[in-house]
Amino acid sequence: MIQTASTDNVAELHLMKSSTIPTLPITHCCPACGLLCDDLVLTATLPMNIKNACAKSVSFYNNAWQENLSVPLLAGKASDLNTTIQAAADILRASNQPLFSGLGTEVQGMRAMIGLAKKTNATLDHMHSEGTVRNTLAMQNSGWQTTTLTEIKNRADIILAIGTDIVTSHPRFFEKLVWNASSLFDKPSPEIIYLAAPKNTPEDNLKAGISPTGKMPTIITADTSKLPEIISTLNALMNGKKITVDQVAGVAIATLLEVLDKLKTAKYAVITWSASNFQYTHAELTVQSITHLIAKLNESTRVAGLPLNSGDGDSTVNNVSTWLSGYPTRSRHFEGQTAYDAYYFSSTQQLKKCDALLWVSTFNAHLPPHCDAPTIVIGHANMQFDKAPDVFIPVGIPGVDHAGSIFRMDSSVAMPLKKLRENQLPSLSEVIHQIEALLT
């Protein structure tokens, strides 16, 4: 469905925009995954031409430049910004416990979301929190020892990837951090070990682990859901426990001993995992088991972890929520206080209980989950609804339509996002501030 905005609306929205139109080519930072590569060069649009792009970023920018829904919708019908902002405020005013979910946004958007959550007693949860929470729970229970991308690029001599091929979620990982020709300490290219990558991993993806000189990665095949047994066995071996079986979950003990030996003799081993692939009950215990192994190895050598993220601003949203309220998401704001519950405040639980849903997805056109309560959607102008929400407000994409700040997967680096084009869409934070103002 394509709608056209009335001239009045365009004029009104122009007032909120700065007049600087960037000239191409422009070097910029890509928010399509947690690596936040900042060496992309946009040289032309329609057709799109981007230097240093990966498949994920190409898809991201193509979606951004596709014909889209540029006007707000009220009950599925074209409306204008002021009317839909008013309607969103009305829904939230009538709500006692709204759920703010999705939360695909950058620092500035999340700041605004927290402000609105305080005003409306909302519960906050990110669309990719199933994976994030597994990491957070492990970290909150016993901590962890981790590293960041530049350290990996310059120090890693072994990379053990657990339950992930890495490139599905972070396409340029090997290109940028592993097969780099030069490093600060003239280290050899790292040895790659895949352990229990998901069954559906495309074979080509594992080829990313072949070194430029043709050295093959070690691929240890096992069912990802058997990782609890495998990692526990690694820990047992690490702690000198006697194992009486020959194999665990189809993996030979001798193979695990070899892995352990490599980790022990490495100068700087990196163990990475993707918690979102650990799709079984209490998978946080697998994360914790990995972090225990890392801690034990560090008693005598240097080994560091790297939890992979899922994107859509997940690291950003958790960081901003934490400094503004003291808690990461899966939190609830109520009468000036904030509560945190990694189970109860999940979208899955709260979709059954909330009396309004505000779904936010600005980077990608992710659709909201089904909800019986009145639903407001604010996000990517490319959303194609089967069932239109009560209110839809299209907003700009951070790093495309407006500037912003975003956290990388390793949380240590925040990057500036640039505005790449001029259009009429407001930013999420502008819309949220206006809704909040109506609730005062």
Catalog residues that contact other proteins under the rule CB under 8 A. Answer: 27, 29, 35-36, 38-39, 107, 111, 136, 139-151, 153-155, 176-177, 182-185, 267-268, 298, 301-302, 304, 318-320, 322-328, 336-338, 340, 405, 407, 411-416
Cβ-based neighbours of 6, under 8 Å, separated by 6 or more: 80
Q: In angstroms, what is the minimal distance from the CB of 328 to other proteins?
A: 5
Q: What torsion do the CA atoms of 400, 405, 408, 409 make, to the nearest 10 degrees?
A: -90
Of the pair 269, 365, the CB lying nearest other proteins is at 269
Of the pair 48, 324, the CB lying nearest other proteins is at 324
- Characterize the bridge pairing of strands 269-273 and 303-307: parallel
Of the pair 4, 301, the CB lying nearest other proteins is at 301
Q: In angstroms, what is the minimal distance from the CB of 321 to other proteins?
A: 9
Between CA 361 and CA 322 the distance in angstroms is 20
Structural tokens at position 63: 């979606």
Q: In angstroms, what is the minimal distance from the CB of 323 to other proteins?
A: 5
Residue (of 160, 164, 255) closest to 217 by Cα position: 160
Cβ-based neighbours of 94, under 8 Å, separated by 6 or more: 355, 356, 374
Q: In angstroms, what is the minimal distance from the CB of 325 to other proteins?
A: 6
Q: In angstroms, what is the minimal distance from the CB of 27 to other proteins?
A: 7
Q: In angstroms, what is the minimal distance from the CB of 139 to other proteins?
A: 6
Q: In angstroms, what is the minimal distance from the CB of 86 to other proteins?
A: 25
Of the pair 176, 366, the CB lying nearest other proteins is at 176
Structural tokens at position 200: 């559906």
Element (H, E) at 110: helix 107-120
Residue 25: is the preceding peptide bond cis (ω within 30°)?
yes
Of the pair 50, 304, the CB lying nearest other proteins is at 304
Of the pair 312, 410, the CB lying nearest other proteins is at 410
**Cα 303 to Cα 147, 262, 287, 373, distances in angstroms:** 9, 11, 15, 48
Alpha carbon of residue 200 to chain centroid: 21
Other C-beta atoms lying within 10 Å of the C-beta of residue 398:
28
Of the pair 226, 267, the CB lying nearest other proteins is at 267
- Characterize the bridge pairing of strands 49-51 and 40-44: antiparallel
Alpha carbon of residue 51 to chain centroid: 23
235 by Cβ neighbours in 10 Å (0-12 / 13-18 / 19+) ranks as middle
Between CA 231 and CA 153 the distance in angstroms is 26
Structural tokens at position 283: 């998978």
Of the pair 218, 412, the CB lying nearest other proteins is at 412
Between CA 348 and CA 355 the distance in angstroms is 14
Between CA 104 and CA 361 the distance in angstroms is 4
Q: In angstroms, what is the minimal distance from the CB of 217 to other proteins?
A: 22
Q: In angstroms, what is the minimal distance from the CB of 192 to other proteins?
A: 19
Q: What angle do CA 156, 202, 193 make, to 5 degrees?
A: 25
Of the pair 177, 376, the CB lying nearest other proteins is at 177
Q: In angstroms, what is the minimal distance from the CB of 391 to other proteins?
A: 27
Q: In angstroms, what is the minimal distance from the CB of 244 to other proteins?
A: 31
Of the pair 87, 317, the CB lying nearest other proteins is at 317
Buried b / exposed e along 150-159 (16+ C-beta atoms within 10 A): ebbbbbbbbb
Of the pair 41, 48, the CB lying nearest other proteins is at 41
> Are the C-beta atoms of 297 and 238 separated by less than 8 Å?
yes
